[in-house]
Amino acid sequence: MTPSTPAAVRHLTVDAESAGQRLDNYLIRHLKGVPKTHIYRIIRSGEVRRNKGRVSADDRVEAGDVLRIPPVRLAERAEPDVALAAPAREFPVLYEDEAFLAIDKPAGVAVHGGSGVSSGVIEQLRRARPQARFLELVHRLDRETSGLLLIAKKRSALKALQDQFRERETGKTYLALVKGAWPTRLKVLDQPLIKYLLADGERRVRVTGRDDPDGMRSVTLVKVRGAAEGLGVPVAALGPLSLLEVTIKTGRTHQIRVHLASAGYPIAGDEKYGDFAFNRELARAGLRRMFLHAWRLRIAHPVTGASMELCSELPGELQRWAGL
């Protein structure tokens, strides 16, 4: 049996260099030898505390935060690192320089390991680039979502880019195919969202009332790009479909999926918030994934400040559904 250090409560103080990191990434980096699944479990259960209060995995730590870590056993000789066990994989590069790179993430690949996923984009990319001194996710995409994903190659670039996302200075636009004929007059969805857990511990999100103190303001802008008659699919059995350009002003978990479904227009192929009978018909017609694609991103370069627009074209399996 592998010997382990005695378990005890720990208190970690976040330093200035770690400010802005997601809590889960911070703990993964500091709790070497602890399985990621266990780290996510102690966060969800409330055993991890920030300044004596509860905290979520996607909350960002700030310099001076004091984190209470419950007793966890740290193996003196840890099991093989997930990053080392991850298959080496490069992804299509849309842009790269010394500060960051933008890749085209395929659907079905998680951005990082954890919560039942052994490895994701970041672990596979680190494995493929062992010479890289620093590679960190700037933001997240759902596993089922394809498209633009930014990865920082310097900590200064990571902080500069994450500051832009946090201050809502980026323009993030997605392409989504939804059930129904979206009304062109409906252009703004401004509804608070709240996270909750299912009985099995799976995380979900729903719209809540404006008076809910736990609700997070969430704003989504919608523009109709194409209607059913302009799409390259057999629509008779499926009913009307709408191809939307969706720009998010806030980056909440599952924001687009929940906002569109709550408005009565679920995203095609969405297995969490979608129309399940409709999804079965879509699968029969050839669409076997969620039609949500991170299409366009406007940022200021993290070093030069120059305005940039990055774009990821729709993958082949979605193009005929968009009439392309």
Instruction: Kindly list the catalytic residues.
Output: 142
Rama region for 115: left / alpha / beta (φ>0; ψ in -120 to 50; rest): left
Q: ∠313-111-56 over CA atoms, to 5°?
A: 125
Residue 11, judged by CB atoms within 10 A of its CB (0-12, 13-18, 19+), counts as: exposed
Helix 36-44 × helix 23-30 angle, to 10°: 130
What's the CA gap between 275 and 5, in Å, rounded?
49
SS3 category, 33 = coil
Q: Tokens standing for 188?
A: 């703004």
Whether 324 and 314 have beta carbons less than 8 Å apart is answered as yes
SS3 category, 247 = strand
